[in-house]
Chains A and B, each alone.
Chain A
Amino acid sequence: MGARVITVTSGKGGVGKTTATANISVALAQLGKKVVAIDADIGLRNLDVILGLENRIVYDLVDVVEGRCKLRQAMIKHKAYPDLYLIPAAQTRDKTAVSPSDMVDITQQLRDEFDFILIDSPAGIERGFRNAVAPADDVLIVTNPEVSSVRDADRIIGLLEAEEKGPGKLVINRVKIGMVRRGEMLSMEDVVDILAIKLIGVVPDDESVLLSSNRGEPAAGDLNSKAGQAFRNIARRLSGEEVPFMSLDGSESFFQRFVRFFSGSVSGPG
């Protein structure tokens, strides 16, 4: 028991899984939770970069699995958030270096000590995805408000349901406020309508996310960032708080439409 294992996945690449994992991990740590973030994207590691821990990697996930180091030795403690640890992915190997049962083993060893274990899944529906999902108690599906990423998210939800891990919770990332206001973007309603799962976060497209990712300081730590605020809200919802969805464009009408819609389809303003 102990920690909740939350896997962040999407199907499609480039929708912001790793950014979401990094930011939610930081936001949970800010709430005083003990958090481990595991990068399961072996061969294409990124989570370390976004968390600003790249230069401190000595051992990685594959070293742990293959017994070259103890689990402890691969865990990098974040300097700014002492309750946050990272287990980085290997850069030189591929997904088959780790099996789903290895992932279950590793998370079992960490459960007693931590509150949350976040796993950053690679894109796709193959081995890497299965590794990431195997130990999950809960799955966050990240999608953008555009047709192809919603399609892939739908496929992922189907696969999760087949593995009895589903249906998961939805994070809609990179919502362009201006386009939503002009009605040019797939609306939140359209997305939730197709996927029909519980929404746990809506993250506006925000240049600060890119800037802070490049600096290795996730936006969740920036109190002026709207996206950071959205990620902090997701962390609070994961911790069991009821947090209303924030207004994305400052216009009440949009916000109210939003709340009305979601309170109709999910229990409470999830």
Chain B
Amino acid sequence: MSTGSVLEIKGIKNGLLVHLDPAREWKSFVEQLMARIEQQQSFFKGARVALEVGERTVRRQDLGALQKRLKEHGIDLWAVLSDSVTTVATARKLGLQTSLDDPEKRGKEVQAEAAPEVSPHAADLLREDDTPPIDPEEAGSGGVLVKRTLRSGRRVRSDGHVVVLGDVNPGAEIVAGGDVIVWGRLRGVVHAGASGDSSAFVCALDMTPMQLRIAGHIATSPAEKRREAKPEVARIRDDRIVVEVWNWGTQ
């Protein structure tokens, strides 16, 4: 059973997922992977490969070299999954995805939501976890549509707006350059207008965020348990955050 294997390959919805034992050396992993590919050329030919490296920090030249070698074998390295911020940033610099969601499908979701001219940025806007610093120029120009409940530990960042179809649970976090709309219960941490736009707003079907920030202002939900959920909007009025019942037509 103990094969001494430093890698694991499994089939996933969109290609192959190669998992690398984070405790092992990068060089021996690359050697083993290439050996495996040599052995089973027909299996790997034309494959789309995602690489899971755990907490390992992968240097840019190492990743670039691997990408190139795989390409020589007709293999498309399209994503790198990592818990390391550095590795994720490196992967992005090389134009790789950093989550397993199908980029084509996600791109479409964004286009449906955002103005057509932002579609070239669609993939960029969809970056979850740690996206690059928010660019004020971009705020309000596009958005991210997240069609699932954000559970604890999940973080979504976008330069533009964020729309969530689902709940935002305690422990989840949204940081948006623009507005945040939650079609569900907002119970996590949310920051709208993160690049300083104090006209940004947050709205939710049930607004009980752990913490709500708009531009430089911070508010928390009142401690008493308020039932009867109703759609509400939070925005800045007279230099502080106010939360009002959703009544869009009259505002």
A205 proximal to B (CB < 8 A): no
Across the A-B interface, give the 8 residue pairs with the lowest CB-CB distance, nearest first: A158-B151, A154-B152, A155-B152, A155-B153, A154-B151, A101-B8, A66-B2, A65-B1
A151 proximal to B (CB < 8 A): yes
Q: State in angstroms the CA–CA spacing of A106 and B2 once bound together.
A: 11
Size category, B interface: 20 to 34
Q: Which residues of A contact B118 (CB under 8 A)?
A: none
B158 proximal to A (CB < 8 A): no
A36-83 contacts to B (CB < 8 Å): 64-67
B170 & A151 in contact (Cβ 8 Å cutoff):
yes
- One digit per residue, 1 when the CB lies within 8 angstroms of any chain A CB and 0 when it does not, for chain B 4-28 equals 0100100011000001010100000
Contacts A164-B12, A194-B169, A196-B167: A155 and B151 contacting too (C-beta < 8 A)?
yes
A80-112 contacts to B (CB < 8 Å): 96, 99-102, 105-106
A157 proximal to B (CB < 8 A): yes
Q: How far is the CB of B142 from chain A (nearest CB, A)?
A: 25
Q: How far is the CB of A34 from chain B (nearest CB, A)?
A: 22
- One digit per residue, 1 when the CB lies within 8 angstroms of any chain B CB and 0 when it does not, for chain A 228-252 equals 0000000000000000000000000
A196 & B149 in contact (Cβ 8 Å cutoff):
yes
Q: Which residues of B contact A157 (CB under 8 A)?
A: 151
B154 proximal to A (CB < 8 A): yes
- One digit per residue, 1 when the CB lies within 8 angstroms of any chain A CB and 0 when it does not, for chain B 96-107 equals 000010000000
Q: Is the interface of B mostly helix, strand, loop or mixed?
A: loop
Q: How far is the CB of A78 from chain B (nearest CB, A)?
A: 24
B46 proximal to A (CB < 8 A): no
Q: Which residues of A contact B2 (CB under 8 A)?
A: 65-67, 102
Size category, A interface: 20 to 34
Give me 18 A-to-B residue pairs in the complex whose CB atoms sit less than 8 angstroms apart, sorted by A's number: A67-B1, A101-B5, A102-B2, A151-B152, A154-B151, A154-B152, A154-B153, A154-B170, A154-B171, A155-B153, A155-B171, A157-B151, A158-B152, A158-B153, A159-B153, A164-B12, A194-B170, A196-B167
Q: State in angstroms the CA–CA spacing of A66 and B1 once bound together.
A: 7
Q: State in angstroms the CA–CA spacing of A154 and B154 once bound together.
A: 10
Q: Which residues of B contact A64 (CB under 8 A)?
A: 1
A138 proximal to B (CB < 8 A): no
Q: How far is the CB of A9 from chain B (nearest CB, A)?
A: 15
A116-167 contacts to B (CB < 8 Å): 151-152, 154-155, 157-159, 161-162, 164
- Contacts A64-B1, A100-B19 aside, 8 further interface pairs with beta carbons under 8 A come to A65-B2, A67-B1, A99-B5, A155-B151, A157-B151, A158-B150, A161-B151, A194-B187
A100 & B8 in contact (Cβ 8 Å cutoff):
yes
Contacts A154-B151, A194-B169: A102 and B23 contacting too (C-beta < 8 A)?
no
- One digit per residue, 1 when the CB lies within 8 angstroms of any chain A CB and 0 when it does not, for chain B 178-201 equals 000000000100000000000000
Q: Which residues of B contact A194 (CB under 8 A)?
A: 169-170, 187
Nearest CB in chain A to that of B148: its residue? A161
Q: State in angstroms the CA–CA spacing of A204 and B149 once bound together.
A: 29
Q: State in angstroms the CA–CA spacing of A140 and B241 once bound together.
A: 41
Q: State in angstroms the CA–CA spacing of A96 and B21 once bound together.
A: 9
Q: State in angstroms the CA–CA spacing of A151 and B189 once bound together.
A: 14
Q: How far is the CB of A141 from chain B (nearest CB, A)?
A: 12
Q: Which residues of A contact B149 (CB under 8 A)?
A: 196
Q: How far is the CB of B167 from chain A (nearest CB, A)?
A: 7
Q: How far is the CB of A59 from chain B (nearest CB, A)?
A: 13
**Residue with the greatest number of chain A CB neighbours at <10 A, chosen from B1, B100, B170, B171:** B1
**Residue with the greatest number of chain A CB neighbours at <10 A, chosen from B8, B151, B152:** B151
